[in-house]
Amino acid sequence: MNLIWHDAENNSTINQYDAGSALTSLALRLSLLKRVLLAAGWTVVASSNGTTKVVGSDNSGTFSVLNSWIILCDPAGVRCVGFQVGTSYKDRLTVKYVAAGGINTTTGSATAMCDANVIAENCVVLSNRPVCECAGYIHAVADTTAPYGFYLINAYSMQSQAASTSFCIVYDPLTNCHASETDPYVLVVYTDNTNSIVELVANASTASMAFASGWQFRGTASAIFGGINMITWRCNTSGDENIRHLFPKGIPADTHRGQEATFMPVVWGGQKGVKGKSTMLSYAGSIYKTYGTTYTVSSTRDRILWGGIFVLPWVGQKVIM
Amino acid sequence: MAWIYKLTDNSPTLNIRDNSTNYGLIPTMMYTLKECMKAAGWTCIACGTGTGGAVYADDTGPRITVTVLKSNNYAWFAMRAPNNKKIIMFQRCDYMYYWRIRVIYDGGINADGTATKIPTAVVSTNSAVWLGGGTDAAPTGLMMTSAPTGGVAHVACDNANNYSFYVCSYVEGTKATIAVELCMEALTNPDVSDVDPVVYLHCQPYYGWIDTEMTANTYGWYKGVAGTYVFGNIPTATCCYKYNTTWTGAMGADPWTGYDQCLPLLYGANWYLYGGGCFKGWSTNLHVIGTDRTTGSTRTIATTMDKIQIQSLLFPWDGVTVPA
């Protein structure tokens, strides 16, 4: 993994402050993420500034115009992800995912993203979804090496523990998948603020504003693209969240190594089985610390805490909160 | 490098039955466990034949027979693992179905046992009572099963990988009166510094989901916040989807292969429950299966009939023999 962040135009993707505005927050986030992805080797398939569709180059600008969109393809030229701001409101987000077969650039328009060449691959992760415009700091990184994971996370500044976690987009390559798995990825798009992020993300498709999506049993008669759950490990049926689970929340300290926290990779799956193990998200053993807390696990500041409970790979930099 | 299911004397370990007397199955299965452990490389380094008997430094003969275990209060035997470190001492108490077990992860035992009293550990802090209560001088046992008559038991022992073993029983075709009398489970991905990377399980009598029951009945050494090892409850965590919905019995078959889906268990000491704790490891041998079936069914997971289903749990199985 070679995570990079991109610092250009005086808009650092590390410690980028978002003042919080229904008119500008989503545009700022998408702009930052786009720059990071392009710096990491992603290419533009097609884009629009809301009035003019362009194939093969970036016309999405700063996403400040309604309907602006962009579809990016990973450095391997295989998987595509598209982002679009709202049709009537600038704080509405649409995300599209195409796992294989590429994009039919003859489709789409200035106000609508292109479709996949294979219609069955045209997966809409969420459509015109309201986005929390909470003020706070944004952190965005992308892996320049296969399998090209990336994320953008955001939360209230000085956020304490899990309270009021807000926006994230996490493109999560998986390991330990079934030998027959053809798309070992999960795309998490979380659009609101909450103080119970685990429950919402873990609940996936049944929650109102938390989405982890991906293919399950692709290539079989049971194949479906939709909500993917975070698998948790319950050791007790108590109603007290603190004692219900080993992961998350149940094992704060790693007493074997004398470290202050125990991490375990998130396992993704659905009702019908496991999809795989996350390379981007780990559970911290317990809810504690503020957003932006960094950890040194293998190298200096190589992990960052988000949502009070999730630990992601980090680039060694200090963060400002 | 394999699980031992059959003994050289051809006495059955796969389908053990003993209806000669109420609870006769228990001493029979404990005798069989002893012999199965020997076949897997363990050594019986001491035993006592109970009230009216004597103490010995071996089990030649053997000295501890089914008859001894059925009739002699406080008979015991001490088994040493092939790594020459771990010692487990099994003792019948005042009924043939009440047993007490002490485990020692390293350091050996003293030569102070008697016909009715197990030896002490050389390093007392390396020793803990897994099952039962009282003291070595006045032991009290725990009931091993709730089924007085009928049923079938299985015994198996791994001759590698920390020498896991299990003893379980049930009345065929039912999900009640299931017991996992004993299971020592070697762990996958334990911490490299773990002094005893196994958990010890006793689970009976059983009337609910067995994986839930296991939460309170799994033990082992964990490293507490003080930096010292403590023997205590290592809750068994089963996987849930949608945050708090149990997966047991809900996963069904793998659409790619058509085989049952199953998942390992996670063991760890929960901080909030126990005031300290750590991640202990993943189960190696036990799995939770995604389809609930009648206890005693065999399952094909990796190779033909390589697991047997005890309610929602899968145990290693020999691949050919079906409980009759």
Q: Which residue in A251, A257, A272 is closest to B268 by CB distance?
A: A251
Among A246, A271, A272, the strongest candidate for a mutation testing the B interface, having the largest count of B CBs within 10 A, is A246
Instruction: Look at residue A206 and tell me whether its pLDDT is greater than 50.
Output: no
State the average pLDDT over residues A301-312. Answer: 81
For the stretch B30-46, pLDDT in tens is 999 999 999 999 999 99
B227 interfaces chain A, CB cutoff of 8 Å: yes
Q: What is the mean pLDDT of chain A?
A: 84
Instruction: Look at residue A160 and tell me whether its pLDDT is greater than 80.
Output: no
Instruction: Look at residue B286 and tell me whether its pLDDT is greater than 80.
Output: yes
The amino acid sitting at B33 is L
Calculate ∠ Cα B2-B7-B9, nearest 5°.
155
Rounded CA-CA distance A303/B211 in Å is 34
CB neighbours (10 Å) of residue B257? 14
B259 interfaces chain A, CB cutoff of 8 Å: no
CA torsion angle A162 A167 A171 A172 (round to 10): 10
Instruction: Look at residue A308 and tell me whether its pLDDT is greater than 80.
Output: no
pLDDT bucket at A238, cuts 50 / 70 / 90: low
Instruction: Tell me how close the Cα of A18 comes to any Cα of chain B, in angstroms.
Output: 31
Range name among A302-306, B110-114, B140-144, B272-276 with the lowest pLDDT average: B272-276
Rounded CA-CA distance B9/B66 in Å is 14
**Residues 191-250, chain A, touching B (beta carbon < 8 A):** 198-199, 202-204, 206, 217, 219-222, 229-237, 240, 242-247, 250
A217 to B242: CB separation less than 8 angstroms, yes or no: no
pLDDT bucket at A207, cuts 50 / 70 / 90: very low
Report yes or no: A63 and A26 within 8 Å, Cβ to Cβ.
Answer: yes
Q: Report residue A160 CA to chain centroid gap.
A: 21
Chain A contact set for B225 (CB, 8 A): 253, 255
DSSP string, A194-258: BS-HHHHHHHGGGSSSEEEEEEESTTSTT-EEEE-EEEEEE----S-HHHHEEETTT---BTTTT
A64 φ/ψ angles, rounded to the nearest 5 degrees: -90, -5
B239 interfaces chain A, CB cutoff of 8 Å: yes
B279 to A235: CB separation less than 8 angstroms, yes or no: no
Q: What is the pLDDT of residue A201?
A: 59
Q: What is the pLDDT of residue A161?
A: 47
For the stretch B139-170, pLDDT in tens is 999 988 767 778 888 999 999 989 999 998 88
Predicted ipTM of the assembly: 0.77
Nearest to A206 by CA among A225, A227, A185, A190: A227
State the average pLDDT over residues A236-261. Answer: 70
Q: Where are the alpha helices (DSSP H) in chain A?
A: 25-39, 197-203, 241-244
B193 to A254: CB separation less than 8 angstroms, yes or no: no
Model's pTM, two decimal places? 0.85
* Distance spanning both ends of chain A, measured CA to CA: 26
For residue B43, the surrounding DSSP H or E stretch is: strand B43-48
A184 interfaces chain B, CB cutoff of 8 Å: no
A234 to B238: CB separation less than 8 angstroms, yes or no: yes
The amino acid sitting at A14 is I
List, in sequence order, every beta strand (DSSP E) within B207-312: 218-223, 229-233, 236-241, 245-246, 262-268, 279-289, 298-299, 307-310
Report percent pLDDT > 70 for chain B. 89
Instruction: Tell me how close the Cα of A305 comes to any Cα of chain B, in angstroms.
Output: 20
